[in-house]
Amino acid sequence: MTRHYVEMTLLIERLHRRYLDVVRAELSRLGIRDINAAQALVLANVGDGEVLVRDLVDRGYYLGPNMFYSIRKLVDYGYLQQSRDEHDRRACRVSLTDKAKALVPRIHELDRRHAEILGEHDISTEELEGLCVTLRRVERAWSDILHFGPTMRSLAPTRLITDDLWEARTGKRKNAEEDEGEDAAYAQLLNDL
């Protein structure tokens, strides 16, 4: 298990770097040289309205200092508009400029094309769903370790199947009885460890 765990952590990091390389290559192909791949992904995560910078940090799991540097550069290069929050003058809101609004659909198109390419490499939608479920569970385990310490048995049961995946597989929303049954099964699994 330890060998696979270490391999997984290395793969996560390597895949993230490789994804940034793919975005960087696409930006280069489009002739965009004033922002880097990580900054392009920030733009893709801003959305249509205004968003607080701290919400971007939470939503995208960006590191604070890197995020603030990226925001400043994106404002300087005309991709973002920045303003102080009305209710908390310490907080900053950002929104996309027209320049960014022209770029973001290209980033989304890049993701769509690359998802199709994965299909050409015999990676199915079901495999990607399963991978996402597993990675969410790893994320949850790491979050629990941060919040509750390394003792996993003391944790409250964690959902094995997300509601969205359940609905995709069964065609219906989970009800409370199914949730309780899943929680009980997971609690038993933890007890058996």
Are both 134 and 158 inside the same structural domain? yes
Query: Are 69 and 98 found together in one domain?
Result: yes
Asked if 100 and 36 sit in the same domain, the reply is: yes
**Structure tokens, 151:** 């003792």
* Residue 34 in this model has a pLDDT that exceeds 90: yes
Q: Give dist(CA 45, CA 79) in Å, integer.
A: 13
**The predicted structure's pLDDT at residue 90:** 79
In the numeric block, which tokens belong to residue 169?
A: 């597989």
In 3D, which of 48, 153, 28 has the Cα closest to residue 97?
A: 48
C-beta of residue 190 within 8 angstroms of C-beta of residue 137:
no
Of 79, 110, 141, the one marking the end of a domain is 110
On whether residue 56 sits in a domain, the answer given is: yes
Range of the domain at 138: 125-192
Q: Pick from 110, 145, 171: which residue ends a domain?
A: 110
Nearest to 100 by CA among 21, 177, 27, 16: 27
Residue 78's H or E segment, with its range, is none
78 shares a domain with 132: no
- Mean pLDDT, the chain, whole residue set: 82
**Encoded tokens for 174:** 């989970």
Q: What are phi and psi of 159, to 5 degrees?
A: -65, 130
Residues 73-101, mean pLDDT to the nearest whole number: 90
Q: Are residues 100 and 154 in the same domain?
A: no
Distance set, CA 83 to CA 33, 39, 93 (Å): 25, 19, 5
Predicted local distance difference test score (pLDDT) of residue 3: 94
Determine, yes or no, domain membership for 120: no
148-192 pLDDT per residue, tens: 887 655 444 445 455 555 555 555 665 545 555 555 554 554 454
How far apart, in Å, do the first and last CA atoms of the chain sit?
Answer: 14
Higher per-residue confidence, 6 vs 62: 6
Same domain, yes or no: 93 and 151: no
Residue 115 placed within a domain: no
User: Can you give the CATH number for the domain in which 41 is found?
Assistant: 1.10.10.10
> Of residues 180 and 8, which shows the higher confidence score?
8
CB atoms < 10 A from the CB of 120, how many? 7
Same structural domain for residues 14 and 106? yes
Segment among 2-11, 16-25, 63-72, 140-149 with least mean pLDDT: 63-72
pLDDT at 16: 92
Q: How many alpha carbons fall within 13 Å on the CB side of residue 110?
A: 21
Percent of the chain past pLDDT 70, that is, above it, reads: 76
What is the per-residue pLDDT across 64-86, written as a single tens digit (0 to 9) for each? 678 888 999 999 999 999 998 77
* Share of residues in the chain with pLDDT > 90 (%): 53
State how many domains the chain has.
2
